[in-house]
Structures are given as structure tokens and as C-alpha cells.
Structure 1
Amino acid sequence: MLRPGERGVARRVLLGVVGGVTFLAAMFATSAAAPLPSDSGSAGSPDGSTVTLNAYCEDHGAVGHLADGRTVYCTQVQGTDAFVWSYSRNPIPRDPNTRGYTCDSDACHWPDGTVVPNYQRCGILCGEPPTSGDKQSGLDDCFRTGTDFEECERRIR
């Protein structure tokens, strides 16, 4: 039989062991249930096919690849429930599929043929010709070298 002082020590040891085991169990359960990071290499589609820049997607955080090999991410359009394939993991400011204009390799035009001012365009982020801001910041030069969009953004900050 334990003496009164020994019972208190035994109780504290038992509580410490139970608490430690509980902590470890919770830690392993949480890590096992945690989602994979968005750069985990998960394919953009189950069959490994390529995805299209600006196309709607459903698997937020998924990683895909364009036909040219560039990496894109299924990211949210700010203020909406829409997700699109984008060069950036960060939410994009507007839905590129609802633009009221079209672009060719040199410029973007409204339906009446007038040029869309750069400040009203998305630019490189949406697969459009670069805006003056994209050029002046060096983003355009960096991106043309084949560097990932996010790395180019990091470099110019």
C-alpha cells in the first residue's frame, strides 16, 4: 500500500502519462487528417491531362499544368464562389471569363473596337498581353524567361 505522499506522486505521474499519450494521439490524428499542401503535386485533372488558363475549376488549391508546361492553381475569384485556373495561388481580383472585351497577342479591345485601357485589364495574370504595369515592374521580362508567375511577383516586390 502506498503512503499518502507517495499516492500524490503516483497520481501526478499517471496524469502526466495519460496527458502525454492524449497529446500524441491528438497530434497524429490531426496530421493524418490534414489536407495536402497546394503544391503537393496533385494533378489538375484525374487523368493527368492539361488544363486551360482561366477555365473554371472545382478543386480549390489543386495544381495543374498548361499545355506549355507552366504550373497553374485552382484559385478563387475575389468576392465570388467561382474558382479558375490561374498562375497565382492568391485570389484574383476579377473573373477573367466575364470580361467584356477580347484580346489578341498585342492588345485588348472592347466590342466597338476601342482599345481597353491597361488599368482596366488583368494583364499577364489572366493570359492577356502585358499591361504597362507588368512591363514597368519587370514582371513581363521575368515571366517571358519561363519563370513561374509567383516567383516573378516575389522578385519585383
Structure 2
Amino acid sequence: MSAYLLIWSPKKWPWPELPDFARRVQAGEAIADTWGCGFARGILPGDRVFLHRVAAEPRGLFGSGYVTRAPYEVPDPAYKRGYRLCIDFVYDWLVDASENVVIARDALRVHPFSVQTWDAQSSGTVIKPIAEGALEKRWAELTGKRPMPAAAVAAMHAAG
């Protein structure tokens, strides 16, 4: 499995459902979502995603999940190519990033996290293995350890 960054800029997309989504995910509900993934076509069911708030404080990582559907094209005339790539995933952790984040951007500036480019302009950036291992460990320390959601397990098995 690989891990990828999903970027959220509140300046581009307000996301009024975030507080409700975060409350439901923290209560143990399996919430599925769709997210643009830039040009990343190699994302597979079962891969890990981490949500990163950019462009406004508090900046940092505030959610995680597992991919349930590989990238697919969604018609979008706003894009020069006429479509955007999206993935489907299910959250395993989410906080309301308008109030706080799990790992602040400044904490990602130190080794081993500093080997990663965190300030991506679009979603779909792969998280380097050295940073991914440390990130998963720190994420579990801060949010607790949870099993992979059933929807992600089923998607992995269906993908072969």
C-alpha cells in the first residue's frame, strides 16, 4: 500500500459539512467521500490518504482514510482537459480543521517528516515511505489505532 496527500484549501472550498462529518467519523460511523486526486492515476483501493489543510490557519493534517475506488474521470468544463480525476475513500479519522488539526504544519518540518513535500498545490502527491512510516506511527499515537474500515477491505478484495 501507498499513502497520498489530499489537499483542502478553505479559501477555494468552504466545506460546510466538515463539522458534521468529523463528529460522525469520531463517533465510529463509516463516512465515504469523493476527492479530486490531481493527475495521480496510480492510486489503488486500500491505499492510505491523509487530508492536509493549506492556505489558512490552522494548517496541517486533519483526517485520514482508505481508498475504496481507484481514480476515475469526472466531466468538468473548468479543467482544460475537460475532466478531473477523483477517488472514493472512507474516513477512519477526521477532525474539524476549522478549529484544529491533528498534526500541525510546523511539526512536519522536522525529520523524518521533512523529507516530504507537504505544501503540494493539488491532491494526489505520494507520501514518501520514510515519512509514511513515521506519519502512521505518530498518527496512531495521536488518534488511536483503528482497523481498516470494512468498505476499504471489501474494495481491496474486489480489486484483486
Q: TM-score range with shorter-chain normalisation?
A: under 0.3
Q: TM-score, normalised by structure 2?
A: 0.26
Q: TM-score, normalised by structure 1?
A: 0.26
More helix by share: 1
Say which one has the larger Rg: 1
- Higher RCO, 1 or 2 (CA under 8 Å, sep at least 6)? 2
